[in-house]
Structure 1
Amino acid sequence: METSRRSVITAAAAAGLSAATAGTARATDRRAPVRELFGRLADGTKVHRWSLENGGTRLKVLSYGGIVQSLEIPDRHGRHRNVSLGFATLEEYVAASPYFGALIGRYGNRIGKGRFTLDGKAYQLSVNDGENSLHGGARGFDKRVWDVEGFTAGPDVGLVLHYTAADGEMGYPGTLRMKVTYTLTRRGDWRVDYAATTDRATVVNLTSHVYWNLAGEGSGSVYDHELRIAASRYTPVDAGLIPTGELAAVAGTPFDFRRAKTVGADIREANQQLLYGKGIDHNWALDKGITARPEPVAALRDPSSGRTLRIATTEPGLQFYSGNFLDGTLVGTGGHIYRQGDALCLETQHFPDSPNQPSFPSTVLRPGATYRTTTVHSFGA
């Protein structure tokens, strides 16, 4: 994969600029974060939208849910397009969003029957996915207004988002204080750093729920995108999409993405796991496990535009969701209807239902400790 910097230099050369001049232009295209009023909630709370740009990447983020409303990157010809699904108005996010672009918590993914036991005490969570709790419950962090501040630091620009979840919010124990930092680097990478502390033992699993279509939002199916995931095992699920506790080999299954293949290559096989998810909606146990620094775990490429996305993370898991429940009832930012398979999610995380699966990496956070994870999204063409 060529880097996005090389694409800018190539485009500049075509316009008669030298490679050195193009490199300088790329290094100085930073745009400091700008805030504007996006809308108001029913109770009058203001929601702002922040716009920033660096290294050829353009990002728009809402204070509501920390939502990435749009993320624009250039194709092989230097033409920008939004590659993240979303809505044009706040009202649409409030009414019907399937977590488009949102910050997810207190627990990303599912917890079976919305229950877990910690230090001998049972907790009942908000249930919002059949009998299960999904993405933190009925009013998870995706439906909260975050405090947001813009920053510039050396060659980087970004946003710092703060939210404090009360003890007992959605059934979770502990007052959880969070700081999430979105950074656009000089090279156009989008880095997400999560940090949280608690005053009582609790469980935490934060992630980002961007829906990717590298051909462009509203352009149609992503089944021809090429995907590679550095994982030899995944976590099979039951009919409610709760992990069974098994770590199963991907070899010989539709879940084998160790070598790049198209998203749609095996998605219609008669496989019980695909029937449960109406496609792919599963967690991969990354071969690298938990790491101190972000390590490469996934690569996505759209052949038509040449755009690429590479993901590195400190997390042990990756949820790959193939947009199975997009059903043609939602209209996106570009005015197009979203249908099944029109985007995919690659959510770095700990495993679903970990509080009920002792063999999975722990998601327990205790007072005095700090939850920290990092995920880096690198773009090219």
Structure 2
Amino acid sequence: MKKLSFETKLVHADRKLNKPEHGAVHSSTNNSVLFEFDDVADLEAVFQGKKVGHVYSRSSSSTVVSLQTVLNDLEGGVGAVCFSTGMAAISAMFFSLLRTGDHIIVSQFLFGNTRSFMETLKGFGIQISFVDVSRADHIQAAVKKNTRLLFCESIANPVTQVADLKTIGNICEHNGIIFALDNTMTPSALLDANSVKASLLITSLTKYVAGHGSVLGGVLVDMGSFDWTEYQNISEHYKVSDTAQWGLTQIKKRGLRDMGATLAPEAAAQVAIGLETMTMRLHKTCNNALALAQFLSALPQVKTVHYPGLPEHPQHQRATELFTSGMCGGILSFTLADKVDLRTFLNDLELVISATHLGDTRTLALPVATTIFYENGLEERIKMGIDESLIRLSVGIENIEDLQNDFSQAFKKQSLQ
């Protein structure tokens, strides 16, 4: 058989890779917390990392491992570990791999919750440089002797700045720095993380992977490009025979086992089913997002629109080169003309939902400054390029004319008031 397309791999990955029992096409949901061993020596060997197996579901279960196998295969990594949420994956990575006195480079455009977590890291003695990751010169200038890791998002939420991923990958490779990439906005159907030399890939499974706003989850994939034998923060306990697994082993032990942010088997099974239609949903979402961005750009009630698919976007050319078929994701944001009242406008939308979340099948709208970036304060929001009247849209898979009609009727109500 010829090599399968990505879309077909998604549909058949669980069945092909995990070979579920009894001819099932989905891996079973195993809710057992404990696992029996006929030979105590096998139990000891699994505890000591000499054999692969399950001893306690906080650390691993067959259902979650099945999902990890599929996600790792799709990304082309050397191993994956799932968590209860995307934020759990992010925090586990940092706490597992960093020590007091380490320096990290972080995008200045980080999503609000991730940005607030950086303040927690500072409290543990981690030095942080916030950098415009769309600028190669800014990235290079931030590198120090004690820089251990660079963390950014492929497309920033909500102003959609596109990081200079290829330059970041080269800089990190040259300086022995871990390149940790959050690709929640551009999962494997949109971005080949190996092509930008990412070391670790973090994805919120809650968003486009699961896709229906019904389950939480996160995953970290080791792409196999970083030499862990040169990383000084790996504990002797986790230097297993396969050196490519050193980083992931430490994250599994310290970040998952010790911190306990386990993905439940029921959630893993739900994510796996959602994953099968990810490409189909993303294609529809990206097409809708571009059409909606173009539609809003032409309206007098809209001041500015931020979407990488628009030619006037500062990183438009980069986005078309990085992302599959030039699909630039399902997030866009826009500011309203001064005469349009933000809250009234959002309340007048009849189809679009006012809610926090993204990657859903439904289109969602959110006032940014007063919600997800409220804690950051006005000064920080200005640095991030967030206008006080900015609205973020997570575009869904509805008929595009229905979406455009909804915005049109809401704007019309504004002009009548």
Report the TM-score, using the length of structure 2 for normalisation. 0.25
Higher helix share: 2
Report the TM-score, using the length of structure 1 for normalisation. 0.27
Higher strand share: 1
